[in-house]
Chains A and B, each alone.
Chain A
Amino acid sequence: MDFTTFLWTTFAAFVTLATFSFLYKDNPFYKFAEHLVVGVAAGYFVIILWHNGLVPNLFRRLADGDWYLLWLNSTMWWYLIPAILGALMWTRFSKRWSWVSRWPMGLYIGISTGVAIPLEMSNRVSKQLYATMIVNPQNPGIDWANFWGHGGFDLLDVASGFSQVLIFIGAVAALIYFFFSKAHTGIFGKAATFGIWILMIGFGASFGFTVMARISLFINRLQFIDQEWIQHAMNPENMVNGSHWPYQLVFWAMILVVVGYMVFELVQHFSSKGKAAPAE
């Protein structure tokens, strides 16, 4: 690893440790990392949307027009309309003219909601209902031949008829639980109770899955600090002008900052404890 990359990696390790320091308490290093990422992420999306959004969708389409004619002579001049409407959004900056920004907002909301209705009905409602009722399109209906499992009794077989029935009944029961226009009593109430069981198992499984994903990320950050930073700092093959000490210097300077802050916090902690003791 060359020295410039190592310096950047050291900074990445610094912001990683600074972010982890929030586990102890809110502190200046965490605040630095937090404020930095807000600015950098905002700038990043400005650039991405400019280069991947505005340039290909607007500027290139108007490119054959002349700026001194306000691109009105472009062959795709009608793309000036969304640009003007977009610019009208900026009237929000003015108290007097902010109502004008409702026009592009109305257009935006109208198109978005109009697109959403058939797509949501298709993707989230119809296709989910279809998949709940017809699990296997090649062999629609319940797999009675393998109801208790493929090749013998096996309740853990996810493709068995039993699992298919359970998915269907579970989904219907969970929907019944969400239906509040009828009192949850009698058979309806029992179905709702079964629905909440299914929901709780689902929430538990999703929770466990999410925790494992976060822990994987945590392990990844520790691997980064170990493999990308510490090991490169300690590797004697990394050199600047035939010398390894610049790597060591940067590494130990970082360690000094971290340990120095920990000592500072400990001193603060114990001194404030002494002050907080009740004087009798």
Chain B
Amino acid sequence: MKRQVPLVLVLLFGLFMIFQYFVPHESSEWVYEFLLDWIYIIGIFALALGIWSLYVVSVDKVKTRKHDWGYSYVTLAGLFGMILFGFTARHGDEWGWYLIFVACVLLTVIMSVQAMAARINKGLPLGLAGLFLLGAVLIAVFDDTWSFYFYTQEGLQSTMFRAFFDYIMMPILATIFSLLAFFIASAAYRAFRARNLLASLLLIAALIVMMRFFPYFGENVGEFIARVSSWLMNVPNLAAQRAIIIGVGLGIVATALKVILGIERGYMGKG
């Protein structure tokens, strides 16, 4: 029951989905779309596991006073703040008590975590959490400048949700990706020393592609390097990428077959 049922489910649905690919009938396509909807919905429910895990790890860091535990509050504030902004929106330009409501909810979360983390005197943070929660509920009931929107997408367009996305999430993510330029360059310095033919090929190809947009070469040299770079990207690089893609494809198919036939059972975990 604990292990056989999932194995049978994987085998049946796996074989069915392979089979239906070769049946060009609209009923087959309908079932295909229908089952894809199913796994999409199941996948979204599974996201809650990830969010819960993030919450537990953050609370645990505060509880056990691990290194840098204070930053867990920043993570929790970001998480709950974003969720709150995504489900609420103002009716017009008036702010009303909206920001105080958000502050009350975030303080409720922080005080609850504080109460869980406290070994003695849990009463004070618990009382404060209750007080802030009461404040948040009262504002939600009586302040009519904003509302909750669970069923429609007003929250996605709300000022705070967009501001958090545009001015916090995107700048940090873009900067983290741009940081990789420096780390790749330092890694390349160590890895790219032309010690043999293969390393030299790697180095020369990389340098030519990197010099493609160097503006100080002049027209003739610049054009020649651009052509060599284009040839490298479209001929040898294409051949190498093709081989890798074909290898990856065969690897995915082999692994998928192992999963369907019950040889690979890692997805079931322990127990």
Chain A positions within 8 Å of B, measured between CB atoms, are: 8-9, 11-13, 15-16, 19-20, 22-23, 31-51, 53-55, 57-59, 79, 81-83, 85-87, 89-90, 92-93, 98-99, 102-121, 123-125, 128-129, 131-132, 155-156, 158, 163, 166-175, 177-178, 195-212, 214-215, 217-218, 220-221, 224
Contacts between chains A and B (CB distance < 8 A), count: 415
Flag if A43 contacts B83 (CB, 8 Å). Answer: yes
Residues of B within 8 A of A197 (CB): 197-198, 201
Pick the contact of B13: A8, A110, A123 (CB < 8 A).
A110
Given contacts A105-B6, A111-B13, A200-B198, contact A124 B173 (CB under 8 A): no
Report whether over half of chain A's contact residues are helix, strand or loop; otherwise say mixed. Answer: helix
Report whether over half of chain B's contact residues are helix, strand or loop; otherwise say mixed. Answer: helix
Closest to B240 in A: A202
**Which of B30-38, B124-132, B140-148 contacts the other chain?**
B30-38
Instruction: Return A38 CB to nearest CB of chain B, in Å.
Output: 5
Residues of B within 8 A of A23 (CB): 179, 182
Flag if A89 contacts B49 (CB, 8 Å). Answer: yes
Flag if B172 contacts A158 (CB, 8 Å). Answer: no
Flag if B47 contacts A45 (CB, 8 Å). Answer: yes
Residues of B within 8 A of A163 (CB): 231, 234-235
**Which of B97-105, B114-122, B244-252 contacts the other chain?**
B244-252
Which range contains the number of B residues in contact with the other chain? 35 or more
The reply to whether the CB of B228 lies closer than 8 angstroms to some CB of chain A is yes
A79 vs B33: C-alpha distance when bound (angstroms): 13
Flag if A90 contacts B45 (CB, 8 Å). Answer: yes
Flag if A59 contacts B151 (CB, 8 Å). Answer: yes
Given contacts A20-B175, A90-B48, contact A116 B256 (CB under 8 A): yes
Given contacts A106-B6, A205-B237, contact A46 B171 (CB under 8 A): no
Closest to B83 in A: A43
A131 vs B238: C-alpha distance when bound (angstroms): 11
B 158-184 binary contact with A (CB < 8 Å = 1; else 0): 000101111111011111111111101
Pick the contact of B241: A12, A98, A106, A202 (CB < 8 A).
A202
Flag if A125 contacts B168 (CB, 8 Å). Answer: no
A112 vs B211: C-alpha distance when bound (angstroms): 42
Given contacts A90-B45, A114-B17, A205-B206, contact A41 B169 (CB under 8 A): yes
Flag if B16 contacts A114 (CB, 8 Å). Answer: yes
Closest to A43 in B: B82
The reply to whether the CB of B156 lies closer than 8 angstroms to some CB of chain A is yes
B 133-156 binary contact with A (CB < 8 Å = 1; else 0): 000000000000000001101011
A174 vs B260: C-alpha distance when bound (angstroms): 30
A103 vs B168: C-alpha distance when bound (angstroms): 39
Flag if B237 contacts A201 (CB, 8 Å). Answer: yes
Flag if A171 contacts B184 (CB, 8 Å). Answer: no
The reply to whether the CB of B12 lies closer than 8 angstroms to some CB of chain A is yes
The reply to whether the CB of B217 lies closer than 8 angstroms to some CB of chain A is no
A220 vs B16: C-alpha distance when bound (angstroms): 48
Closest to B176 in A: A19
Residues of B within 8 A of A86 (CB): 41-46
Instruction: Return A16 CB to nearest CB of chain B, in Å.
Output: 5
Flag if A106 contacts B7 (CB, 8 Å). Answer: yes
Residues of A within 8 A of B241 (CB): 202, 206
Residues of A within 8 A of B179 (CB): 19-20, 22-23
Flag if A42 contacts B181 (CB, 8 Å). Answer: no
Show 20 A/B contacts (Cβ-Cβ < 8 Å), sorted by A.
A8-B166, A12-B167, A12-B171, A23-B179, A35-B72, A35-B78, A39-B82, A44-B169, A90-B48, A98-B269, A102-B268, A103-B6, A107-B9, A111-B13, A114-B15, A125-B253, A156-B231, A166-B239, A167-B235, A212-B212
